[in-house]
Amino acid sequence: MRGLTLGFVEFSGIGGFQESFVSELLDNGVKLKNVKISGGRITGAVSPLSYRLAAVTAKKHGIKLRAGKRGGLYFAALRYSRRAGLYVGLMLFFLILSLGKSTVADIRITGDAPKAQIISILEECGITRGAARNGLKLSLAEQKIMLEANNVAWVDVSCVGCRVLVDVHSGTPAPEIFDPTKPCNIVASRDAAVISSNVRKGKLITEVGSGVQKGGLLVSGTVSDGGGNLLYLHADGEIIGEFTDTEDFFVPYREIVKIANGEKTEYKYLVFCDDIYPLFFGEAYVEDSLYSEQTEKIKLFGAETPFRLITGTFTKYSDVDVTRSDDDCIYELKRLKADFEENFFSEYEIVSAIEKCLPEKEGIRLVVEYTLRGDIAQKQPIEVDLSASLPTDDVMRQSP
Protein backbone atom coordinates (compact mmCIF):
# COMPACT_ATOMS: atom_id res chain seq x y z
CA MET A 1 0.00 0.00 0.00
CA ARG A 2 1.50 3.30 -1.11
CA GLY A 3 2.59 5.70 1.61
CA LEU A 4 2.96 3.06 4.33
CA THR A 5 6.53 1.94 3.75
CA LEU A 6 6.87 -0.50 6.65
CA GLY A 7 3.63 -2.27 6.00
CA PHE A 8 -0.08 -1.86 6.62
CA VAL A 9 -2.94 -3.19 8.72
CA GLU A 10 -6.41 -2.79 7.30
CA PHE A 11 -9.06 -2.13 9.93
CA SER A 12 -12.80 -1.87 10.12
CA GLY A 13 -14.89 -0.61 12.97
CA ILE A 14 -18.52 -0.13 13.86
CA GLY A 15 -20.37 2.16 16.25
CA GLY A 16 -18.98 4.98 18.38
CA PHE A 17 -17.85 8.43 17.35
CA GLN A 18 -15.97 7.75 14.18
CA GLU A 19 -15.22 11.36 13.14
CA SER A 20 -13.68 12.20 16.51
CA PHE A 21 -11.69 8.95 16.30
CA VAL A 22 -10.20 10.05 12.95
CA SER A 23 -9.61 13.58 14.30
CA GLU A 24 -7.68 12.29 17.31
CA LEU A 25 -5.54 10.02 15.16
CA LEU A 26 -4.88 13.00 12.91
CA ASP A 27 -3.92 15.07 15.95
CA ASN A 28 -1.48 12.36 17.09
CA GLY A 29 0.23 12.26 13.70
CA VAL A 30 -0.95 8.73 12.86
CA LYS A 31 -0.82 8.10 9.15
CA LEU A 32 -4.13 6.83 7.80
CA LYS A 33 -4.96 5.47 4.37
CA ASN A 34 -8.20 4.96 2.47
CA VAL A 35 -10.46 5.92 5.36
CA LYS A 36 -14.08 5.43 4.35
CA ILE A 37 -17.13 5.89 6.55
CA SER A 38 -20.42 4.59 5.28
CA GLY A 39 -23.44 3.09 6.93
CA GLY A 40 -21.98 3.46 10.41
CA ARG A 41 -18.93 1.46 9.45
CA ILE A 42 -15.40 2.86 9.24
CA THR A 43 -12.68 1.19 7.17
CA GLY A 44 -9.08 2.17 6.46
CA ALA A 45 -5.46 1.20 6.90
CA VAL A 46 -2.69 2.22 9.30
CA SER A 47 0.96 1.42 9.78
CA PRO A 48 1.55 -1.71 11.93
CA LEU A 49 3.46 0.48 14.40
CA SER A 50 0.41 2.76 14.79
CA TYR A 51 -2.26 0.06 15.00
CA ARG A 52 -2.01 -0.25 18.78
CA LEU A 53 -2.58 3.49 19.22
CA ALA A 54 -5.47 3.31 16.75
CA ALA A 55 -7.04 0.44 18.70
CA VAL A 56 -6.71 2.31 22.03
CA THR A 57 -8.19 5.47 20.46
CA ALA A 58 -11.06 3.45 18.95
CA LYS A 59 -11.90 1.98 22.34
CA LYS A 60 -11.86 5.48 23.81
CA HIS A 61 -14.41 6.63 21.24
CA GLY A 62 -16.61 3.56 21.59
CA ILE A 63 -15.72 1.93 18.30
CA LYS A 64 -15.37 -1.82 17.97
CA LEU A 65 -12.26 -2.10 15.86
CA ARG A 66 -11.18 -5.25 14.01
CA ALA A 67 -7.90 -5.76 12.20
CA GLY A 68 -8.20 -7.19 8.71
CA LYS A 69 -5.68 -7.87 5.99
CA ARG A 70 -2.08 -7.12 6.85
CA GLY A 71 1.07 -7.06 4.77
CA GLY A 72 4.35 -5.32 3.98
CA LEU A 73 7.93 -5.44 5.15
CA TYR A 74 7.09 -5.44 8.86
CA PHE A 75 5.11 -8.66 8.66
CA ALA A 76 7.59 -10.29 6.28
CA ALA A 77 10.37 -9.56 8.79
CA LEU A 78 8.16 -10.85 11.59
CA ARG A 79 7.59 -14.10 9.70
CA TYR A 80 11.33 -14.75 9.43
CA SER A 81 12.29 -13.35 12.84
CA ARG A 82 12.25 -16.77 14.53
CA ARG A 83 14.53 -18.42 12.01
CA ALA A 84 17.86 -18.88 13.77
CA GLY A 85 19.60 -19.70 10.50
CA LEU A 86 19.02 -16.17 9.29
CA TYR A 87 20.83 -14.71 12.30
CA VAL A 88 23.67 -17.18 11.93
CA GLY A 89 23.94 -16.34 8.22
CA LEU A 90 23.89 -12.64 8.96
CA MET A 91 26.59 -13.01 11.59
CA LEU A 92 28.68 -15.13 9.23
CA PHE A 93 28.25 -12.54 6.51
CA PHE A 94 29.53 -9.74 8.74
CA LEU A 95 32.30 -12.00 10.05
CA ILE A 96 33.50 -12.79 6.52
CA LEU A 97 33.16 -9.13 5.60
CA SER A 98 35.22 -8.00 8.59
CA LEU A 99 37.82 -10.75 8.02
CA GLY A 100 38.03 -9.81 4.37
CA LYS A 101 38.50 -6.18 5.25
CA SER A 102 41.16 -6.90 7.86
CA THR A 103 43.52 -8.68 5.46
CA VAL A 104 45.09 -7.77 2.17
CA ALA A 105 43.25 -9.53 -0.65
CA ASP A 106 44.87 -7.93 -3.65
CA ILE A 107 47.91 -5.86 -4.60
CA ARG A 108 47.52 -3.58 -7.58
CA ILE A 109 50.54 -1.87 -9.14
CA THR A 110 50.04 1.01 -11.52
CA GLY A 111 52.53 3.29 -13.22
CA ASP A 112 55.60 2.58 -15.29
CA ALA A 113 57.90 0.80 -12.85
CA PRO A 114 59.22 -2.81 -13.04
CA LYS A 115 56.47 -4.81 -11.32
CA ALA A 116 58.59 -7.79 -10.30
CA GLN A 117 61.01 -5.54 -8.44
CA ILE A 118 58.17 -3.66 -6.70
CA ILE A 119 56.52 -6.94 -5.59
CA SER A 120 59.79 -8.23 -4.13
CA ILE A 121 60.29 -4.96 -2.20
CA LEU A 122 56.70 -5.16 -0.90
CA GLU A 123 57.30 -8.76 0.22
CA GLU A 124 60.41 -7.61 2.10
CA CYS A 125 58.20 -5.09 3.93
CA GLY A 126 55.64 -7.80 4.77
CA ILE A 127 53.02 -6.59 2.31
CA THR A 128 51.69 -9.75 0.74
CA ARG A 129 48.28 -11.21 0.04
CA GLY A 130 46.72 -12.38 3.28
CA ALA A 131 48.79 -10.04 5.46
CA ALA A 132 46.93 -8.22 8.24
CA ARG A 133 45.92 -4.68 7.33
CA ASN A 134 46.76 -3.27 10.75
CA GLY A 135 50.46 -3.97 10.68
CA LEU A 136 51.18 -2.81 7.13
CA LYS A 137 54.34 -0.73 6.88
CA LEU A 138 53.26 1.46 4.00
CA SER A 139 55.71 4.31 4.66
CA LEU A 140 58.61 1.87 4.89
CA ALA A 141 57.58 0.31 1.57
CA GLU A 142 57.45 3.75 -0.05
CA GLN A 143 60.93 4.61 1.22
CA LYS A 144 62.37 1.26 0.09
CA ILE A 145 60.86 1.57 -3.37
CA MET A 146 62.27 5.08 -3.72
CA LEU A 147 65.73 3.86 -2.68
CA GLU A 148 65.92 0.49 -4.39
CA ALA A 149 63.79 0.66 -7.54
CA ASN A 150 65.45 2.05 -10.63
CA ASN A 151 64.76 5.65 -11.59
CA VAL A 152 61.64 6.13 -9.46
CA ALA A 153 60.52 9.74 -9.13
CA TRP A 154 57.29 9.35 -7.16
CA VAL A 155 55.63 6.51 -5.30
CA ASP A 156 52.44 6.10 -3.30
CA VAL A 157 51.53 2.96 -1.39
CA SER A 158 48.06 3.04 0.13
CA CYS A 159 45.56 0.55 1.41
CA VAL A 160 42.01 1.00 0.15
CA GLY A 161 39.62 -1.51 1.65
CA CYS A 162 41.24 -4.92 1.27
CA ARG A 163 43.42 -3.81 -1.64
CA VAL A 164 46.93 -2.36 -1.56
CA LEU A 165 47.42 0.18 -4.31
CA VAL A 166 50.95 0.97 -5.42
CA ASP A 167 51.35 3.88 -7.79
CA VAL A 168 54.90 4.24 -9.06
CA HIS A 169 56.11 6.79 -11.56
CA SER A 170 59.54 6.77 -13.16
CA GLY A 171 61.52 9.94 -13.49
CA THR A 172 62.31 11.60 -16.82
CA PRO A 173 65.47 10.01 -18.19
CA ALA A 174 68.45 12.26 -17.53
CA PRO A 175 69.85 13.98 -20.61
CA GLU A 176 73.03 12.58 -22.02
CA ILE A 177 75.96 14.39 -20.42
CA PHE A 178 79.42 14.03 -21.71
CA ASP A 179 81.95 12.79 -19.28
CA PRO A 180 83.88 16.01 -18.46
CA THR A 181 87.13 14.04 -18.53
CA LYS A 182 86.61 12.79 -22.08
CA PRO A 183 87.93 14.94 -24.92
CA CYS A 184 85.37 16.58 -27.16
CA ASN A 185 84.93 19.34 -29.77
CA ILE A 186 82.10 21.83 -30.05
CA VAL A 187 80.28 21.84 -33.37
CA ALA A 188 77.39 23.92 -34.69
CA SER A 189 73.91 22.47 -34.06
CA ARG A 190 72.54 24.38 -37.11
CA ASP A 191 73.47 26.76 -39.92
CA ALA A 192 74.09 30.15 -38.31
CA ALA A 193 76.17 33.31 -38.19
CA VAL A 194 78.33 33.50 -35.08
CA ILE A 195 77.46 36.60 -33.02
CA SER A 196 79.47 36.09 -29.86
CA SER A 197 81.46 33.43 -28.08
CA ASN A 198 82.49 32.53 -24.59
CA VAL A 199 85.04 29.72 -24.66
CA ARG A 200 86.06 28.29 -21.31
CA LYS A 201 88.21 25.43 -22.58
CA GLY A 202 89.50 24.61 -26.07
CA LYS A 203 90.47 26.64 -29.08
CA LEU A 204 87.96 28.87 -30.91
CA ILE A 205 88.07 27.99 -34.59
CA THR A 206 85.29 30.15 -36.02
CA GLU A 207 85.57 33.87 -35.75
CA VAL A 208 82.75 36.10 -34.58
CA GLY A 209 80.81 37.39 -37.57
CA SER A 210 81.52 34.42 -39.80
CA GLY A 211 78.96 31.91 -40.93
CA VAL A 212 78.99 28.26 -40.00
CA GLN A 213 77.18 25.22 -41.36
CA LYS A 214 75.47 22.58 -39.30
CA GLY A 215 78.14 20.24 -37.88
CA GLY A 216 80.93 22.76 -38.59
CA LEU A 217 83.69 22.93 -35.99
CA LEU A 218 83.34 25.86 -33.60
CA VAL A 219 85.71 25.04 -30.73
CA SER A 220 88.39 22.42 -31.03
CA GLY A 221 89.34 20.18 -28.13
CA THR A 222 92.70 19.38 -29.74
CA VAL A 223 95.30 21.96 -28.77
CA SER A 224 99.07 22.11 -28.88
CA ASP A 225 101.07 22.58 -25.69
CA GLY A 226 103.68 24.64 -27.55
CA GLY A 227 106.23 21.88 -27.28
CA GLY A 228 105.04 19.91 -30.27
CA ASN A 229 102.68 17.70 -28.31
CA LEU A 230 98.94 17.52 -28.81
CA LEU A 231 96.56 17.74 -25.86
CA TYR A 232 93.00 16.44 -26.04
CA LEU A 233 90.66 18.60 -23.96
CA HIS A 234 87.01 18.59 -23.09
CA ALA A 235 86.05 21.77 -24.99
CA ASP A 236 83.52 23.94 -23.17
CA GLY A 237 81.82 27.25 -23.89
CA GLU A 238 78.84 29.01 -25.41
CA ILE A 239 78.64 30.11 -29.00
CA ILE A 240 75.77 32.47 -29.73
CA GLY A 241 74.63 32.28 -33.32
CA GLU A 242 71.98 34.05 -35.36
CA PHE A 243 69.88 31.98 -37.71
CA THR A 244 66.61 32.09 -39.57
CA ASP A 245 63.65 29.77 -39.43
CA THR A 246 60.44 29.87 -41.46
CA GLU A 247 57.21 28.57 -40.01
CA ASP A 248 53.89 28.09 -41.73
CA PHE A 249 50.49 28.30 -39.98
CA PHE A 250 47.13 27.66 -41.63
CA VAL A 251 43.59 28.18 -40.36
CA PRO A 252 40.66 27.06 -42.55
CA TYR A 253 37.43 29.05 -42.91
CA ARG A 254 35.39 25.94 -42.20
CA GLU A 255 36.43 23.20 -39.83
CA ILE A 256 34.81 20.42 -37.85
CA VAL A 257 35.86 20.75 -34.21
CA LYS A 258 35.17 18.26 -31.43
CA ILE A 259 33.52 20.02 -28.48
CA ALA A 260 32.43 18.36 -25.24
CA ASN A 261 28.83 19.58 -25.12
CA GLY A 262 26.93 16.39 -25.79
CA GLU A 263 24.98 14.05 -23.57
CA LYS A 264 26.07 13.96 -19.94
CA THR A 265 26.28 10.70 -18.04
CA GLU A 266 26.80 10.84 -14.29
CA TYR A 267 28.21 8.13 -12.05
CA LYS A 268 28.05 8.60 -8.31
CA TYR A 269 30.29 7.06 -5.68
CA LEU A 270 29.85 7.11 -1.93
CA VAL A 271 33.11 7.58 -0.04
CA PHE A 272 33.53 6.56 3.58
CA CYS A 273 37.07 7.03 4.96
CA ASP A 274 39.26 5.29 2.35
CA ASP A 275 36.49 3.13 0.94
CA ILE A 276 34.69 3.99 -2.28
CA TYR A 277 31.31 2.43 -3.03
CA PRO A 278 29.91 2.84 -6.54
CA LEU A 279 26.22 3.74 -6.52
CA PHE A 280 25.58 2.17 -9.91
CA PHE A 281 25.84 -1.14 -11.71
CA GLY A 282 28.33 -1.89 -14.47
CA GLU A 283 31.37 0.02 -15.62
CA ALA A 284 31.74 3.78 -15.37
CA TYR A 285 32.98 4.55 -18.85
CA VAL A 286 31.58 6.39 -21.84
CA GLU A 287 33.51 6.32 -25.09
CA ASP A 288 34.67 9.50 -26.82
CA SER A 289 33.86 11.82 -23.94
CA LEU A 290 35.42 14.26 -21.51
CA TYR A 291 35.55 13.19 -17.86
CA SER A 292 35.25 15.56 -14.93
CA GLU A 293 34.82 14.84 -11.26
CA GLN A 294 33.31 16.68 -8.32
CA THR A 295 33.48 15.77 -4.65
CA GLU A 296 31.07 17.09 -2.07
CA LYS A 297 30.69 16.51 1.65
CA ILE A 298 27.44 15.01 2.82
CA LYS A 299 25.79 17.08 5.52
CA LEU A 300 23.05 16.00 7.89
CA PHE A 301 21.10 18.78 9.60
CA GLY A 302 23.94 21.17 8.80
CA ALA A 303 26.61 18.97 10.42
CA GLU A 304 29.31 17.33 8.35
CA THR A 305 29.30 13.54 8.15
CA PRO A 306 32.33 11.33 7.34
CA PHE A 307 30.66 10.50 4.02
CA ARG A 308 31.49 12.17 0.75
CA LEU A 309 29.80 11.92 -2.60
CA ILE A 310 31.85 11.82 -5.78
CA THR A 311 30.04 12.68 -8.99
CA GLY A 312 31.92 11.68 -12.12
CA THR A 313 30.50 13.22 -15.30
CA PHE A 314 31.21 11.98 -18.81
CA THR A 315 30.33 14.62 -21.41
CA LYS A 316 30.16 13.26 -24.94
CA TYR A 317 32.16 15.03 -27.61
CA SER A 318 30.12 16.24 -30.53
CA ASP A 319 31.32 17.42 -33.92
CA VAL A 320 30.66 21.11 -34.40
CA ASP A 321 30.97 22.71 -37.80
CA VAL A 322 32.85 25.97 -37.17
CA THR A 323 32.73 28.74 -39.76
CA ARG A 324 35.25 31.54 -39.34
CA SER A 325 35.40 35.05 -40.72
CA ASP A 326 38.68 36.65 -41.82
CA ASP A 327 39.08 38.31 -38.43
CA ASP A 328 38.45 35.01 -36.64
CA CYS A 329 41.10 33.31 -38.79
CA ILE A 330 43.65 36.07 -38.07
CA TYR A 331 42.91 35.82 -34.35
CA GLU A 332 43.34 32.01 -34.45
CA LEU A 333 46.59 32.34 -36.44
CA LYS A 334 47.99 34.78 -33.85
CA ARG A 335 47.12 32.33 -31.12
CA LEU A 336 48.79 29.44 -32.98
CA LYS A 337 51.91 31.57 -33.54
CA ALA A 338 52.09 32.58 -29.87
CA ASP A 339 51.71 28.93 -28.76
CA PHE A 340 54.39 27.81 -31.20
CA GLU A 341 56.85 30.46 -30.00
CA GLU A 342 56.21 29.54 -26.38
CA ASN A 343 56.70 25.83 -27.05
CA PHE A 344 59.64 25.82 -29.47
CA PHE A 345 61.46 29.16 -29.32
CA SER A 346 61.39 29.80 -25.59
CA GLU A 347 65.16 29.22 -25.29
CA TYR A 348 66.00 31.55 -28.18
CA GLU A 349 65.86 35.31 -28.48
CA ILE A 350 63.53 36.33 -31.33
CA VAL A 351 65.36 39.14 -33.12
CA SER A 352 62.67 39.65 -35.73
CA ALA A 353 59.58 37.93 -37.08
CA ILE A 354 58.38 38.95 -40.55
CA GLU A 355 54.76 37.90 -41.05
CA LYS A 356 53.10 37.33 -44.42
CA CYS A 357 49.39 36.62 -44.56
CA LEU A 358 48.36 34.68 -47.67
CA PRO A 359 44.61 34.38 -48.22
CA GLU A 360 43.69 31.10 -49.90
CA LYS A 361 40.44 29.57 -51.12
CA GLU A 362 40.05 27.31 -48.07
CA GLY A 363 41.49 29.59 -45.40
CA ILE A 364 44.31 31.95 -44.47
CA ARG A 365 47.98 30.97 -44.35
CA LEU A 366 50.49 32.83 -42.20
CA VAL A 367 54.17 32.50 -43.09
CA VAL A 368 56.55 33.83 -40.47
CA GLU A 369 60.27 34.29 -41.09
CA TYR A 370 62.01 34.29 -37.76
CA THR A 371 65.48 35.59 -37.07
CA LEU A 372 66.62 33.96 -33.87
CA ARG A 373 69.59 34.11 -31.56
CA GLY A 374 70.76 31.37 -29.28
CA ASP A 375 73.41 28.93 -28.24
CA ILE A 376 74.39 26.73 -31.20
CA ALA A 377 77.14 24.82 -29.39
CA GLN A 378 76.85 21.02 -29.54
CA LYS A 379 79.46 18.76 -28.02
CA GLN A 380 80.94 16.01 -30.15
CA PRO A 381 83.38 13.45 -28.70
CA ILE A 382 86.86 13.16 -30.19
CA GLU A 383 87.70 9.60 -31.16
CA VAL A 384 91.38 9.23 -30.32
CA ASP A 385 93.10 6.26 -31.90
CA LEU A 386 95.64 5.35 -29.23
CA SER A 387 97.25 2.67 -31.40
CA ALA A 388 98.43 5.41 -33.78
CA SER A 389 100.62 6.92 -31.05
CA LEU A 390 102.31 3.65 -30.16
CA PRO A 391 106.02 3.34 -31.17
CA THR A 392 106.59 1.46 -34.40
CA ASP A 393 108.51 -1.41 -32.82
CA ASP A 394 105.58 -2.02 -30.43
CA VAL A 395 103.22 -2.21 -33.35
CA MET A 396 105.62 -4.55 -35.10
CA ARG A 397 105.84 -6.69 -31.99
CA GLN A 398 102.08 -7.06 -31.84
CA SER A 399 101.72 -8.10 -35.44
CA PRO A 400 102.20 -11.82 -36.24
Partner 1 sequence: MGLKERLLQLGEYTGEPCITLLSDSELCAENCRSIKACDENLVVLCMKGQDVRVVGTSLTLENFGAYGVKITGSIHSLTIERHGDQ
Nearer to partner 1, 23 or 198 (CB): 23
Is-contact 186 218, C-beta < 8 A? Answer: yes
Check residue 50 for interaction with partner 1 (CB under 8 A).
no
- Label residue 21 exposed, middle or buried (CB < 10 Å: 0-12, 13-18, 19+): buried
Q: Return the SS3 of 131.
A: coil
Check residue 44 for interaction with partner 1 (CB under 8 A).
yes
Check residue 376 for interaction with partner 1 (CB under 8 A).
no
Beta carbon of residue 139, minimum distance to partner 1 (angstroms, whole number): 49
Query: What ranges make up the beta strands (E) of 95-235?
Result: 106-111, 152-160, 163-170, 184-188, 192-201, 203-204, 211-212, 217-220, 222-224, 230-232
Check residue 37 for interaction with partner 1 (CB under 8 A).
yes
The span from the CA of 42 to the CA of 361, in Å, is 86
Check residue 89 for interaction with partner 1 (CB under 8 A).
no
- Indicate which single residue of 5, 6, 14, 34 sits in contact with partner 1 (rule: CB under 8 A): 34
- Indicate which single residue of 5, 6, 14, 23 sits in contact with partner 1 (rule: CB under 8 A): 23
Check residue 26 for interaction with partner 1 (CB under 8 A).
yes
Beta carbon of residue 5, minimum distance to partner 1 (angstroms, whole number): 13
Beta carbon of residue 37, minimum distance to partner 1 (angstroms, whole number): 5
- Indicate which single residue of 13, 16, 18, 185 sits in contact with partner 1 (rule: CB under 8 A): 18
Beta carbon of residue 35, minimum distance to partner 1 (angstroms, whole number): 4
3-state secondary structure string across 274-331: CEEEECCCCCCCCCCEEEEEEEEEEEECCEEEEEEEEEEEEEEEEEEEEECCHHHHHH
Residue 181: CB partners within 8 Å, gap ≥ 6?
234
Beta carbon of residue 324, minimum distance to partner 1 (angstroms, whole number): 54
Is-contact 71 8, C-beta < 8 A? Answer: yes
Mark the segment that binds partner 1 (CB under 8 A) among 36-44, 237-245, 269-277, 306-314.
Answer: 36-44
Mark the segment that binds partner 1 (CB under 8 A) among 28-36, 97-105, 148-156, 383-391.
Answer: 28-36
Q: Return the SS3 of 175.
A: coil
- Indicate which single residue of 12, 32, 204, 371 sits in contact with partner 1 (rule: CB under 8 A): 32
Check residue 22 for interaction with partner 1 (CB under 8 A).
yes
The span from the CA of 353 to the CA of 371, in Å, is 6
Indicate the residue type of 70. R
- How many residues bind partner 1 (CB under 8 A)? The answer is 21
Nearer to partner 1, 31 or 334 (CB): 31
- Indicate which single residue of 5, 6, 14, 28 sits in contact with partner 1 (rule: CB under 8 A): 28
Check residue 399 for interaction with partner 1 (CB under 8 A).
no
Check residue 31 for interaction with partner 1 (CB under 8 A).
yes
The span from the CA of 346 to the CA of 247, in Å, is 15
Cα→Cα distances 4→10, 77, 79, Å: 11, 15, 19
Nearer to partner 1, 41 or 299 (CB): 41
Beta carbon of residue 15, minimum distance to partner 1 (angstroms, whole number): 15
Check residue 27 for interaction with partner 1 (CB under 8 A).
yes
Mark the segment that binds partner 1 (CB under 8 A) among 18-26, 74-82, 226-234, 336-344.
Answer: 18-26
Check residue 57 for interaction with partner 1 (CB under 8 A).
no
Check residue 3 for interaction with partner 1 (CB under 8 A).
yes
Long-range CB contacts (within 8 A, 24+) of 254-259: 254/321, 254/322, 254/323, 254/324, 254/362, 255/321, 255/322, 255/324, 256/319, 256/320, 256/321, 256/322, 257/319, 257/320, 257/322, 258/317, 258/318, 258/319, 258/320, 259/317, 259/318, 259/320
Check residue 29 for interaction with partner 1 (CB under 8 A).
yes
Residues at the interface with partner 1 (CB under 8 A): 3, 18-20, 22-23, 25-38, 44
